[in-house]
Amino acid sequence: MLQEICQAGELVLRRQARELTPEEIISAPVKELIASMFETMRAAPGVGLAAPQIGIPMQIAVIEDPQEFIDKLPAEHAAARLRTGVAPHVVINPRITIEDPEMVEFFEGCLSLSGFTAIVPRALAVRVDCLNERAEPTVIHARGWYARILQHEIDDLHGTLYIDRMLSRSFMGRENFERLWKDVPVAEFRKLVGDV
């Protein structure tokens, strides 16, 4: 069932979500919630959705970066972002560790800040220790765009939105980004706009 996506200003997006017990994870209501989250994320469309974004303060995120999304990008954009397809999966009670502290900067958006984007520095590679939808321990090693998605969604579980990490002078409406900047490399954008 499609859920309404909470927008910035709603308190649930700024609070720490609670962890789930293994018993909760395998329960029918949580299974239904996860199915609903995938449906809502895909309809938006997006590549990740955290439970607080639909008003549920639990540490659950769903992630999927379909190859068809990547195929619509210019090849050089996908290569620069180290973006490859990511199969649908669930991340519950995640703990994130930076594996490669090199910071990379790209424009990022969020379903809870509909219509906006900004440059956000993120670590190049991360490790995530979490539980899956069967309450099984899972370790994820991610690099590039997948690492960015994980960092973004895990932030969402802890009350942090990308605007808390963005380069503030890069913040803009999505329409202007698509019209003016989508094909401009971040380094060039920074030179043109000045100190972001």
What 22-30 contacts at long range (C-beta under 8 Å, 24+ apart), as own/partner pairs, is 22/131, 22/135, 25/92, 25/131, 25/133, 25/134, 25/135, 26/134, 26/135, 30/58, 30/60, 30/133
As a whole number of angstroms, the distance between CA 73 and CA 120 comes to 19
Q: Count the neighbouring beta carbons within 10 Å of the beta carbon of residue 12.
A: 16
Burial environment of residue 190 by CB neighbours within 10 A (0 to 12, 13 to 18, 19 or more) = middle
Active-site residue, selected from the candidate residues 99, 133, 153, 175: 153
Q: Is 153 a catalytic residue?
A: yes
Return the active site residues: 153
